Amino acid sequence: MKLSLVIPVYNTEKFLEKCLASCLNQNVEMSDYEVIIVDDGTKDNAMDIAGSFQEKHSNIKIYSQANAGLSAARNTGLAHATGDYVWFIDSDDYIDNNALLLIFNKIEEKPDVICLQGKRSDDDIPRNKFSDDVKTGFDVLLHSFDDWDRCVPYYVFNRQFLANHKLSFYVGIFHEDDEFTPRALVFAEKVSVIDKPLYYYWVKTENTITKSVNPKKSYDNVIVAESLSDFKDKNPMPDDIKQVFDNHISLIINNALANIKDSDKQVQKDFNAYLLGKKYILEALRKSSKMKYRLEYVLFRLFNNYVGVYNLIQKLNTK
């Protein structure tokens, strides 16, 4: 079995049919890949759709669990996967018709990770675009920080590589891709690149849960920042890769503050107090290669009001 497609499903009945149809409309033998659907306690009719596909396609497998979130569902799918490689696909997105043949061709090179391009529904700009001179995970990490994408579906992973490095998804948090992808790339000694968009990501409307103001997203950003900081300290890596991690951690801290800034004053106060107890992760701002993050570090140390300082900087930037 060459490839396992792992598709967690939770309340995505509006999108699932297109997702599964795209995974099955491929110009390769179905015996060469499997589609693993993980029912993460979905409450809509998505599993009826999945069941109807399973009746017609022998390479579809369905596993069910109580709702535990995307990370747990991906981990479940990975545990059941039998393919040499695994591709994590979100059930509200879809893939290109000829994606698997191109991936199979790259599998012949036996890489740890295959990097592919994606496109979002709100623009036509390819994401995660690399040249063929990208050969290792370090090469990916050192690529222009604004170009490489942390979105897990933009990568196909050697399953044994994941097992060897005990790589799994952090359960119970938002922003799991930000936490997982940089760690995986540090270990990737061989990377192959597909210079073509194969993954299509639907950007949801502003009234969906993914766009709502949710304080947990900010707290989870801090968890991700802590995890990456701990990983950087415990694993040997060149100084330039450490600085990539510092840039990434700095971005995550800013994302946390951006999300919390529109909450009420008490929520902001509580989050600021929480962040005050995590001062060590702010060292990433000081070590960042970006001037704006280093300036934030100085202001944060002077005033200890992270949310207030961030809000003031944003106001000044709009003037």
Q: Is 191 in a helix, a strand, or coil?
A: strand
Predicted pLDDT of residue 319: 58
pLDDT digit string, tens, across residues 148-168: 899 999 999 999 999 999 999
Task: Tell me: pLDDT of 317 over 80.
Answer: no
The Cβ-side half-sphere exposure at 252, using a 13 Å CA radius, reads 30
pTM for the model: 0.95
Structure confidence at residue 209 (pLDDT): 38
Indicate the average pLDDT of the chain.
94
Q: In the predicted model, what is the mean pLDDT of residues 215-238?
A: 97
Residue 199 has pLDDT above 70, yes or no: yes
What pLDDT score does 122 carry?
82
Burial of 83 (0-12, 13-18, 19+ CB in 10 A): buried
Which DSSP string do the residues of 37-84 spell out, in sequence order?
EEEES--SSHHHHHHHHHHH-TTEEEEEE----HHHHHHHHHHH--SS
Q: Kindly state the average pLDDT of the residues 182-203.
A: 96
- The structure tokens listed for 79 are 């545990």
Confidence (pLDDT) at 147: 76
Q: How many CB atoms lie within 10 A of CB 108?
A: 9
pLDDT band at 145 (very low <50, low <70, confident <90, very high): low
| Mean predicted confidence (pLDDT) in 240-257 | 97
Instruction: Provide the 10 A C-beta neighbour count for residue 58.
Output: 10
Domains by residue range for the chain, with CATH: 3-201 (3.90.550.10), 213-317 (no CATH)
What's the pLDDT score for residue 148? 87
Measured in degrees and rounded to the nearest 5, phi and psi for residue 240 equal -70, -30
Confidence class of residue 314 from pLDDT cuts 50, 70 and 90? confident
Share of the chain above pLDDT 90, in %: 87
Quick one: pLDDT at residue 206? 44
- In the chain, the percentage of residues whose pLDDT exceeds 70 is 96
Q: Are the beta carbons of 96 and 194 closer than 8 angstroms?
A: no
Give me the pLDDT at residue 126, please: 92
* Per-residue pLDDT tens digits for 60-104: 999 999 999 999 999 999 999 999 999 999 999 999 998 999 999
The tens digit of pLDDT for each residue in 22-45 reads: 999 999 999 999 999 999 999 999
Section 186-200 average pLDDT: 97
